[in-house]
């Protein structure tokens, strides 16, 4: 059976003319629900300047691509009715002091985590891939760990923060990493051990509940899936499809290794943090830590290693050729971070950067 894949994308609400984030999610979500006649795929997020949609689980990547384009277009039309636009940007290029969303949960976060909560106007992309059981899911998590930073690099789309260039390709990853449960994790070894560790984190009282387990990849607490959360939201919808296809390939490859009794990579959490930092810093523009050696190598070589690692799984779903082509295209044109920096170099205006990204969000 082909594993199903679902995607959750967070989008930024902006003023079409000034490029500044707009706190209009309540109005946009209400309009989206009316347009969808109650069957809306959208949800609110921590800040009023953002919204999220979730696709249905899909077996074919062409079907997933249609879902992503559909909901991005629906988000854009609902935002336009409310006097805003949507941009698939992982951070806001222009300065912003974002208000926290409504609801008791968001108020609790603001009181508990202070400035960390205030500064979390970030947009990520979460990819869900079906697994047969929690045991298989944990086997997958244990064996995917060294490859997750590579996914961050290829999705990097957040070079600007509060009006300045951060010198990072994914500054979202640095901001997101301020949550106490965020980032790479240890090898768990079994589903029992995984659930024990999650419960131990919740029992500390630092976290509100299991929904705050912000690992780079985790077992979903709502669906029978592995949920990979490491990526920035991608500017180009085609890159989201590429990301999702690679994640499914990684899950399938890791599941086969687990079923065959293959051991997980022994890299420690500290080294994986270095790999994640390097991926967020350079994206695809410099060197990445190779997942097999944890030594720096050119990004193109590491991307090639990722493609080889998942080749057998991609070939079985007839996705290998399209992924190979999409990765070549991405390496040539660059990620969303390069697109944003190129737009700034060309126009000298962060407002113009946002305007261009609004257009690119719908492909």
Higher model confidence: residue 222 or residue 225?
Answer: 225
Structure confidence at residue 358 as a pLDDT band (50, 70, 90): very high
According to the model, what pLDDT value does residue 33 have? 86
Summarize pLDDT for 223-260 with one digit per residue, the tens: 999 999 999 999 999 999 999 999 999 999 999 999 99
The answer, yes or no, to whether residue 200 has pLDDT greater than 70, is yes
Summarize pLDDT for 10-67 with one digit per residue, the tens: 999 999 899 999 999 999 999 988 877 667 789 889 999 999 999 999 999 999 999 9
According to the model, what pLDDT value does residue 40 have? 77
According to the model, what pLDDT value does residue 291 have? 98
According to the model, what pLDDT value does residue 293 have? 96
According to the model, what pLDDT value does residue 38 have? 63
Q: 310-317, long-range: CB within 8 Å, 24+ apart, which pairs? A: 310/246, 310/249, 310/250, 310/252, 310/253, 312/253, 313/248, 313/249, 313/252, 313/253, 313/256, 314/245, 314/249, 316/252, 317/2, 317/248
Summarize pLDDT for 118-144 with one digit per residue, the tens: 999 999 999 999 999 999 999 999 999
Beta bridge partners of 219: 226
According to the model, what pLDDT value does residue 237 have? 97
Q: Are strands 287-289 and 225-232 parallel, antiparallel or unpaired?
A: unpaired
According to the model, what pLDDT value does residue 359 have? 95
Q: Are strands 42-44 and 50-54 parallel, antiparallel or unpaired?
A: antiparallel
The answer, yes or no, to whether residue 108 has pLDDT greater than 70, is yes
Residue among 128, 127, 126, 121 at smallest CA distance from 158: 121
What are the chain's domains? 97-361 (3.30.590.20)
Cα separation of 70 and 74, whole Å?
6
């Amino acid at each position: 059976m082909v594993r199903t894949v679902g995607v959750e994308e967070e989008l930024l609400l902006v003023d079409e003319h000034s490029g500044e984030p707009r706190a209009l999610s309540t109005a946009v979500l209400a309009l989206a629900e009316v347009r969808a006649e109650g069957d809306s795929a959208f949800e609110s997020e921590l800040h009023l300047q953002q919204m999220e949609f979730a696709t249905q689980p899909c077996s074919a990547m062409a079907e997933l691509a249609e879902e992503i384009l559909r909901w991005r277009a629906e988000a854009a039309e609902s935002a336009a009715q409310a006097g805003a636009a949507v941009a698939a940007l992982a951070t806001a290029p222009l300065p912003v002091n974002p208000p926290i969303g409504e609801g008791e949960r968001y108020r609790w976060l603001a009181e508990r985590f202070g400035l960390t909560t205030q500064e979390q106007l970030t947009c990520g992309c979460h990819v869900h891939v079906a697994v047969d059981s929690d045991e298989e899911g944990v086997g997958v998590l244990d064996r995917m760990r060294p490859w997750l930073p590579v996914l961050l690099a290829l999705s990097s789309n957040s070079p600007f923060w509060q009006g300045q260039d951060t010198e990072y390709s994914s500054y979202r990853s640095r901001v997101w990493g301020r949550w106490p449960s965020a980032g790479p994790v240890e090898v768990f070894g079994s589903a029992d051990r995984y659930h024990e560790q999650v419960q131990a984190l919740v029992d500390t009282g630092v976290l509100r509940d299991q929904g705050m387990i912000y690992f780079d990849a985790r077992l979903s607490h709502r669906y029978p899936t592995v949920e990979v959360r490491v990526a920035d939201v991608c500017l180009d919808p085609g890159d989201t499809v590429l990301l999702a296809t690679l994640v499914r390939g990684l899950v399938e490859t890791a599941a086969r290794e687990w079923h065959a009794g293959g051991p997980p990579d022994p890299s420690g959490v500290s080294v994986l943090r270095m790999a994640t930092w390097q991926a967020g810093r350079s994206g695809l523009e410099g060197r990445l830590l190779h997942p097999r050696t944890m030594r720096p190598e050119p990004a193109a070589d590491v991307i090639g290693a990722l493609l080889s690692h998942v080749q057998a799984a991609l070939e079985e779903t007839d996705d290998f050729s399209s992924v190979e082509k999409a990765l070549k295209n991405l390496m040539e044109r660059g990620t969303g971070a390069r697109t944003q920096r190129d737009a700034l170099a060309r126009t000298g205006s962060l407002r113009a950067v946002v305007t261009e990204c609004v257009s690119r969000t719908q492909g």
